[in-house]
Structure 1
């Protein structure tokens, strides 16, 4: 069951993804990486603070050791 309206100042995973202009899987990845923390909800229906989603959106993302850097042609 999806929230009809999450509490004020919070977002569901789907709404957080829309707010940050990313896929819901990216929101879950940010949580796994420690860039975003849940502020409530249930394990299957987490809630996130609006300010935390915005901070995670603009945070420097860690890269993998073997990831290729973007190069100019």
Structure 2
């Protein structure tokens, strides 16, 4: 399901990734890790609140052994 128009205040996975300067896989990873919650849409085509996406972007990400350091 592609959206004909996205409700105001929501972003698709692609738009959220573009807004954060990351890949869509990173947005899906943030959801899997509990840093970002789906707000609407379906499991295959979720929508995220703009405020939640910007909050997830600035949230300190946990590090794992062997993970590359960022900035």
TM-score where L is the length of structure 2:
0.89
| Structure 1 residues 68 and 41: CA distance shift in structure 2, 3 A | closer
Shift of 1:4: 2.2
How do 1:12-27 residues align onto structure 2 when only pairs under 5 Å count?
12-27=12-27
Runs of 5+ in structure 1 lacking a partner? Answer: none
| Bigger Rg over Cα | 1
Q: Deviations over 1:9-59 (max 9, x none)?
A: 000101111111110000000000000000010010000000000000011
Matched, 1:45 2:31: no
RMSD across aligned positions (CA): 1.4
- Give every structure 1 segment of 4 or more consecutive aligned residues whose post-TM-superposition deviation is greater than 2 Å: 67-70
